[in-house]
Chain A
Amino acid sequence: MTHFEASPLLCVQGLSKRYGSFTALHEAAFDLWPGEVMAVVGESGSGKTTLLNVIAARMQPDHGSVHYRMRDGALKDVHAMTQAEQRLLARTDWGFVHQHSAEGLRMDVSAGANVGERLMGLGHRNYGQLRATAQEWLQRVEIDPLRIDDTPRIFSGGMRQRLQIARNLVTSPRLIFMDEPTSGLDVSVQARLLDLLRQLTQELRLAMVIVTHDLAVARLLAHRMVVMQRGRIVEMGLTDQVLDDPQHSYTQLLVSSVLQP
């Protein structure tokens, strides 16, 4: 974030979503700036994943809007786009890393094909080039390029998550959504993934919305933090502010319940 950007990348306003009589999301609002990493924390059922899915246009809100600044500078309402436009955005300028890698990967095709898929979707057909790019990205996410022809089915959990990241970053997106990317991984594997993410977001100036219930993950990666409870954003601020001087009673409970955030 060296360059002081003139306008936000993403503007979220008054976002609400109900499932029947259950309010999953109530009036969520924030701006996200280029290169900014924002963590969304809160316990399960607090609306974190709903927020992520609605922002990423994977789900329609009942009220409110999400505007995204396209590469040409135009601000577009993502829910007013056609499905084709949404798909293109999701496959090029955005990325989505799922908690369960099986949702974000093709488990029965090779690692190389997983990485190359988005490029092929954009019309890249040169096999040699696709393979070289895939090799380069595998290396960047610390997967041995010799594993390029293996399927992720025989990868470890940590490798699968790193492969998901490579698969998303290959088109140089400007915004990545992450849903609990480290949960279910061993602590040592988690640390490696987090550190890799930290480096990649900094080097590539990636903006990121990361949903996590782990405050240490937020501390390490995020510039800003949003705390959710029962579908509402109850507190928002610099990550260290929210963790070190929590104002809302729910945030105080969250922070005090952790051994070493």
Chain B
Amino acid sequence: MRYALKRILLGVPTLLAMFTAIFVIIRVVPGDAAAVILGDQASATALEALRVELGLNQPLSQQYLGFLGGLLQGDLGTSLVTKRPVLEEALRVLPNTLELAAASIIVGLALGMPLGIYAAVHRNAWPDYVGRLFSLVGLSLPAFVSGILLLLAFAIQLRWFPVIGTSQGGGLRERFLGVALPALNLGIIMSAYVARVTRSSMLSTLGEDYVRTARAKGVGPSTLVLRHVLTNSLMPIITVVGLYFGTLIGNSVLTEIVFNRPGLGRLILGALNTRDYTLLQGLMIIFASFVVLANLLTDLAYAAVDPRIRTA
């Protein structure tokens, strides 16, 4: 418990640094942000009004303090286009994005770990080569490319899934069909990372003395692999899942665009197309918070798996 608290407090400066970085990047828009947003044809009064609305007429330090103060109160600003609070816009579609992320992590682990274990046990035999080739293919597929191919094959040609992933409303069946293909897309890519690290982690554990001892005293092959080797190979797998979270966010943005699924990714695309800088900034802050949260969960998972970390 003390460890958890300490770890949570450590996340605060990281979060603050990320927020500051996002603030700075958004503010380096070359030239006048108001002119960029409104275009060349805008009148002087419209430009001035927008500057006041964005707070661009204030000194930078004041803008920064206002930005941080707003964040403390959970205020991410107001969308320039819809004039609605950014947080409200994001919360409306957040369940869809979380649903997709959870489903794809399940697919990624359920597919990747058995593949990695199988490849490690059959090292340098053909299952190992097939597994490694699969991993490399997975690592080389940009998420939108695999998404488009899945969409073409299973939704457009075979018609097993709806072309547009409407997860809003509808029964459980519609919901499942809507999330299945995007989750499969993200899960397959993730399983490539998971399979690869599971394999190498298992290989190094398989070489340990205690594994030989266990084998010598007659532990059966499946118990040996699953209880003695796998449990001691979990740390790198947790690390990869934690590290992969950032990539998962990027890939889920692309996947939501391809499958036309309402979510944070689609919001980002909209913000980019309409030059809605406050929405863009707010979404980046939400994503940054997720990353810090994922890092926190990863560290807590370490502690759960390895008692030495808890007590240290």
A binds B: no
- B residues contacting A by CB (< 8 A) are none
- A residues contacting B by CB (< 8 A) are none
